[in-house]
Amino acid sequence: MTKAFQEYYPKNLSHCYGCGVNNKQGHQLKSYWHENSDNGVEQTIAHFKPKTYHTAIPNFVYGGLLASLIDCHGTGSAAAISYKRANRLMGSEPAFRFVTAALNINYLAPTPMGITLKLIGTFSEIKENKVIVDIDVIAQEQICVQGQVVAVKMPTTMT
Amino acid sequence: MTKAFQEYYPKNLSHCYGCGVNNKQGHQLKSYWHENSDNGVEQTIAHFKPKTYHTAIPNFVYGGLLASLIDCHGTGSAAAISYKRANRLMGSEPAFRFVTAALNINYLAPTPMGITLKLIGTFSEIKENKVIVDIDVIAQEQICVQGQVVAVKMPTTMT
């Protein structure tokens, strides 16, 4: 079974509330290459079904959760493309691990509850120390949210 | 005791994961007027101490949580200033209730864990249907995150 990007993170950096495999209370978002991307562009994909309490107002998903999912899908995608561009296996050392420098989100339509959401990431800039990922959050074929993650290599001061 | 902005929200719109008083699993952020603002500008304030599991990597706060706090402090502040400009008591009907159209966040420095964070909101645009709130997230006098919330009146289709 394919491992998610986040499952390749070093164990001591896998505590993220949004996507860390070691954070039992967290969202544990899992991101993958989007193998079925039909436009020939490298894309990444994640799925997430919000819990009933992840609500904004009844029937709609909380925007802060959507921001969180975009954030983690962005930094995960940044790590994955960095390994790919370096022709290295994911998980090999030294690890590529990115953090978010900026997060810009437009909420285009209320996101309905009770549906497994799809996040699709596309790269708009790929540099060694900085990757920009554009992410659509899709509910039943409708783009509800568009976000951009400016991911930068984790500063050595953080580890 | 002063009630928080969010405690004036209509009961049927108080389920937000970030700030709803009816959401037991949520963050229950509480925003107030910043009475001690020393620069003569109308400002709002909220405090929040992240839980130990709200981590990004060990010792630092998860950016998605910070985005959530900014989001809810922004929409709460938008409601409060709207009541104030209309010379109406908070909680009076019809309610001012805002949702987020856009959320733009810059993570300036890693936010340390174990500290009660302070959010300060300042208004950069106040219109009847749209309020823009700039928010600093401060840990021990250091601004770690700066965010901007574009809040718009909740569409009638959402209620």
CATH number for the domain that contains residue B90:
3.10.129.10
Quote the pLDDT of residue A113: 96
Which amino acid belongs to residue B116?
T
Quote the pLDDT of residue A159: 67
How many distinct structural domains can be found in chain A?
1
A72: closest chain B residue by CA: B64
Assigned domain for B130 exists: yes
Burial of B73 (0-12, 13-18, 19+ CB in 10 A): buried
Assigned domain for B7 exists: no
Would you say B9 and B78 are in contact if contact means Cβ atoms under 8 Å apart? no
Would you say B147 and B102 are in contact if contact means Cβ atoms under 8 Å apart? no
Mean pLDDT score across all residues of chain B: 94
Contact check, Cβ <8 Å, B102/A102: no
Mean pLDDT score across all residues of chain A: 94
Which chain A residues are closer than 8 Å to B56 by Cβ?
15-17, 99
The distance of B159 to chain A (nearest Cα, Å) reads 8
Query: Token match 């009907």: residue?
Result: B93
Domain span at B72: 26-158
The distance of A108 to chain B (nearest Cα, Å) reads 7
Assigned domain for B85 exists: yes
Quote the pLDDT of residue A30: 97
Residue B38 has pLDDT above 80, yes or no: no
pLDDT cut 90: percent of chain A above it = 81
Quote the pLDDT of residue B4: 97
ipTM of the assembly?
Answer: 0.94
- Write the pLDDT tens digit of every residue in B70-121: 999 999 999 999 999 999 999 999 989 899 999 999 999 999 999 999 999 9
Q: Which of A62, A132, A149 to substitute to test the interface with B, most B CBs within 10 Å?
A: A62
Q: For A156, which DSSP code? A: G
Contact check, Cβ <8 Å, A57/B154: yes
Q: Return the closest-CA partner of residue A48 out of A124, A149, A126, A144.
A: A144
pLDDT cut 70: percent of chain A above it = 98
- Write the pLDDT tens digit of every residue in A68-113: 999 999 999 999 999 999 999 999 999 898 999 999 999 999 999 9
Quote the pLDDT of residue B157: 72
Assigned domain for B20 exists: no
Would you say A10 and A23 are in contact if contact means Cβ atoms under 8 Å apart? no
Assigned domain for B14 exists: no
Q: Is the minimum CB–CB distance between A156 and chain B shorter than 8 Å?
A: no
Residue A155 has pLDDT above 70, yes or no: yes
Alpha helix stretches (DSSP H) within chain A: 63-85
